[in-house]
Structures are given as C-alpha cells and as structure tokens.
Chains A and B, each alone.
Chain A
Amino acid sequence: MEEAKRNKFPLSKGAALFVAMLASSISHGDLFDSGKVLATGGVSMIDGAGGGGITPWATITGYATKEGINGDLHYTYAPLANYTLHSVGAAVGFWDRFELSYTSSSLTTGSTFDTVGLVTDTLGGATGSLAGTPINTGIEPFNTTIDMEVIGAKVRVFGEAIYDSDNLIPQVAIGAFYKNNKNEDLLKTLKADKAKDWEAYISATKIFFPINTLINVTARYTAANQTGLVGFGGPGGSDKEIRPEVSIAYLLRKDTVIGMEWAKHGDNLEGESVEVAGLDLTSLQPTLETLGLSAVAGTLTQHESDWYDIFVAFFPNKNLSITMAYAMLGNITITPDQHGFYMSLQASF
C-alpha cells in the first residue's frame, strides 16, 4: 500500500512529462507523420480500430510509419431494416506500433421492441407493474436506443503486411476492446448477462501483390451478443469463446479496394425469449392468449447470425476514405433479415 502510494507520484509525473514531450514534439512538427502509402492505413471498423468494416486488422490505423504518429476521426452509418447504427469516434496510431481508439455507438431500434412494450403495457396495465414488481424494460414509447462506448488498444507484434512479399509471414497484432453498453434495462429484458465486458483479439494481415489481394484472419475472444450492442453472455453465463473473422480484399486500383468479410457470432441468446420483470414472455403464453395476443410470443424469440458484408472502399487522398458496404447481419434479437447499406467515413490528419 505504502509502496503503491510512493510510486504513484513518479508515475503521474512521468505521464505528464510524456504528454508534454508529445505536445511539444507535435508543435515542432517532427512527430507527426503521414508516410504510409495511400490506402495502407486501412479504414475504421465499427468498434473503432483500424481494419475493415467489422473486423480489426493487424495494421495500425492512420498514415504514420515508425517515424511518427497519426490518427483519424471516423463515422459509420448503417440503416438496417429494424435498426440504425451511428458510430463516431477517434483513433491514434503511434509509430506504426501501437493504436488507441474510442468509439461511441448508438443503435436506434425503431419499432422493433414495440411488441414487447405493448405486451408489457397490456400486462402491467395502468400501474406499470407486474405481480407487484415495477416493469422496467428499457423500452421507450418509441425509438428505444442502445448506446455503447468502446475503448480499444492494439499492438503490432511482428511481421510486415506490405513489403515482405518474399515470405508468407503475416503482420500480427494483438488488441482488446472494453465495451460499455448503457441500456442495461433493455439488456436485462433481452436476457444478456452483462452490459460491460472486454474482448481480446489476435489478427494476421498480409498483402499478396502478385494477386492484388489482402487477406486478414482474426480470432476474437469474446462473449458479445451482436458485438456487445445486445450485451454479453446470456442465461448460461458470460464465458468467452474464440470466434474467427476473415476479410478478403481485392486491390482494384491504388485508391480503391473491394472485398468481403465474415465474422462468426455467438449463440448466448439463441432461442431465448424476452423477459419482463423476471418473467419469461413465453411462460406468459396462457396470459397472452387470454388477452388475445397469442401470436406475439412466437415473434419474441431471439436469434443471432454470423455477420457478412461486401464492401468497396475508396481513398481519394490520405485525408479521407469512404467505405460503402452491404451488410448482411441476419437475425438480430427478435427480428430476422437485418440487411442493409453501410457507409463509413474516415478522416485522417
């Protein structure tokens, strides 16, 4: 304890010195660097890390080489059938070695949970409580929103994604996200175990110039439901598991890349119903039937599908990238066929 106290001061002083050094170097302009070749900084994936659209790559975000630091601001907009995702954040790459990112996501759910809200209202009546328990589903009268903050860090461990065309060793990075989902009540309704959790990943990325192709393979250690937008874990707990993700990109021109991605998703909430005030809605089936709402319970069963996307990323210059994609996210909670367009902008300094 004493030890920790004594150490704390020099540490914070060290950090302050480091920040001061950074600030002064930036103001002198010799730490800032944008020396990567166009497009080789990649784009920003939805969790904010440098990568593809849904998968973090082993590349460090921004255009800095090992000479300096560089970063980006990113915004992603994905209007799906029942949900709309807005995600905005910033990321900094240090010496092409280390990356820090922050992203704030907001998922509006439109009318998705109105049925649940309707059932709740019907059951709870005017008192807003069920069997004496106040009902707090996290569902608003309209446009229920799920907000999530994601903090990420990534370190490049070894390898060279771009120039080592004479061997098969990929660039490898390890990274982690800490995700904080703000709509705990809705997550409880959807039976997720946790609203906050971390996940870790290892990514391997390599460009094969003779076939104009980039391949990334990632293994993510996570318990997330829909990347955490539907929380983490389920009634069976929130043990993490390893899920693979793959991106294949074809370099069409020096400023245009097309490709596809796949990310394995979990089944923590597979087949689960939604829960209101500690009661499973399927167990309320008789009640619902009496109320003439028998069809409702069947539509309240949750499923989760793997995510797929096909994308085209355009890099008009080193300060801007525009990614357009078609995302095929399948079942999200109680709604099937969540497919739709996806647009992501990245501004680099």
Chain B
Amino acid sequence: MKQLFRTIAITFMLSVAASPSFSQTGKTETYPPIDSDALEQFGGPEGVRNWVESLFYYIMLDNRINHVFREFGNIERQIYLNTQLLQLVLGGNEVEYQGASMAAAHADLGITLTQFNAVVEAAYNACERIQLTYEACNLMIAGLAPYKHAIVTR
C-alpha cells in the first residue's frame, strides 16, 4: 500500500516536473496569447540568434551563474539550440528543436529560482543590447516562463 502510494506520488511529481502544460516544440500557449507577429518583432530568426548570443554574453558576465555554464554547459551548442527553441516559442514554424527536453537538460544541475531569475535578468539585458522593445521582450519572457517548472529543481 505504502509502496503503491509512493509510486503514485513519484509518478505525479515527475509528470508535473517533466511536462509543462504545452508541447516543447511549438508556440507557448499563454494567457493572453503571445502576439501572432512576435517572431517578426524579434527581428526574425536572425534577431533571435542575436538575442541568444547576447544572452550568453550577459550570462557569462554574471558571477552568480556563469560557473554553472562553465562547468556543465556547452555554450556553442546552447546558443544553437536556444535559437531553435525561442523561434518555436514565439510562433515560428520553419525550424525543429533538436535538443533535449528542458527537464532532461537541467535535471542534474539543481538549479535554484535565484539562478533562474539571474538568467531572466540577463535576458532583459540582452533585449536592451539588441535594441528590442520592452514589449517584445516580454513576449519572450511569457513564452519561456512556464519552463521554470521543469528547470528549477531546488
């Protein structure tokens, strides 16, 4: 009985942690929805690529988190994959995401909410760096925010 309860509990916890309520390879369903021209506002695939590059620039300058990426990350690969992911999240359909799920990629890292928020602050800095409007930047925040459940494990 206890065993059964534990299995159910673990299954439930894993499914909550591993599956955000939307597919990982498509536009994020938010309330209210992300603008239909979000990808254009971001400057198309090129703009997204610029943003992801400056995101990693700011991440690697932030002493609260850069050590995690230095130790466990692969910046080239992450820039490449995040460029795919963000295009999809913003409603693009020309690309395919080739990386691991958010849960799988971050499971062993023990990421805290404070670290997650540090990435969000880097994200805002990156938006300013590429002269993106604050409104367009918030579409990206809305689109990536639900991944928090899969990424923050502590």
A-B complex is real: yes
A residues near B (Cβ < 8 Å) are 33, 35-38, 65-67, 160, 162-168, 208-212, 251-254
Known: A35-B113, A66-B113. A210 touches B139 (CB 8 A): yes
Task: Let me know if B145 is at the binding interface, CB within 8 A.
Answer: yes
- Rounded to whole angstroms, the CA-CA distance of A33 and B32 in the bound complex is 32
- Provide the bound-state CA to CA distance between A36 and B146, in Å: 16
Q: How far does the Cβ of A159 sit from chain B's closest Cβ, in whole Å?
A: 13
Bound CA span A164–B113, Å: 14
Q: Does B20 contact A (CB under 8 A)?
A: yes
Residues of A contacting B148 with CB < 8 Å?
160, 163
What DSSP secondary structure best describes chain B's contact surface?
helix
Residues of B within 8 A of A37 (CB): 117, 120-121, 124
Bound Cα distance A210, B118 (Å): 21
Contact across chains for A65 and B31 when beta carbons are under 8 A apart: no
> Do the beta carbons of A212 and B135 come within 8 Å of each other?
yes
* Contact of B142 with A by CB under 8 A: yes
For B143, the closest partner residue in chain A by CB is A165
Binds A, one of B22-30, B50-58, B69-77, B93-101: B22-30
Q: With contacts defined as CB atoms under 8 Å apart, how many contacts are there between chain A and chain B in the complex? A: 75
- A210-B35 contact, Cβ under 8 Å, with A251-B134, A251-B138: yes
Sample (8) of A-B pairs whose CB atoms are under 8 Å apart: A35-B117, A67-B113, A163-B145, A166-B28, A166-B30, A209-B139, A210-B33, A210-B142
B89 CB to closest chain A CB, in angstroms?
11
Contact among B21, B115, B118 for A167, CB-based, below 8 A: B21
Given A162-B145, A208-B31, 7 more contacts at CB 8 Å? A37-B117, A37-B124, A160-B148, A209-B142, A210-B34, A210-B138, A253-B134
Taking a contact as CB atoms under 8 Å apart, the answer to whether B31 and A166 are in contact is yes
Q: Which residues from chain B sit less than 8 Å from chain A, CB to CB?
A: 20-22, 28-35, 112-115, 117-118, 120-121, 124, 134-135, 138-139, 141-143, 145-146, 148
Question: Within 8 Å CB of B118, what residues of A?
Answer: 35
Q: Are the C-beta atoms of A166 and B113 separated by less than 8 Å?
A: no
- Known contacts A37-B121, A67-B112; A166 and B20 CB within 8 A of each other: yes
**A168 touching B121, Cβ below 8 Å:** no
The 6 closest A-B pairs by CB, nearest first: A35-B114, A209-B142, A163-B145, A166-B146, A65-B113, A209-B138
Report the Cα distance A162→B33, complex, angstroms.
15
A333 to chain B: closest CB distance in Å?
43
**CA–CA, A167 and B145, complex, Å:** 11
Taken together as a complex, chains A and B put the C-alpha atoms of A304 and B128 apart, in Å, by 46
Do A65 and B30 touch across chains, with their CB atoms under 8 A apart?
A: no
CB neighbours (8 Å) of B134 from chain A are 212, 251-254
Verify A65–B117 contact, CB threshold 8 A. Answer: yes
Min CB distance B140 to A, Å, is: 9
Q: Who on chain A is nearest to B32 by CB?
A: A210
Give chain B nearest CB distance to A242 CB in angstroms.
Answer: 27
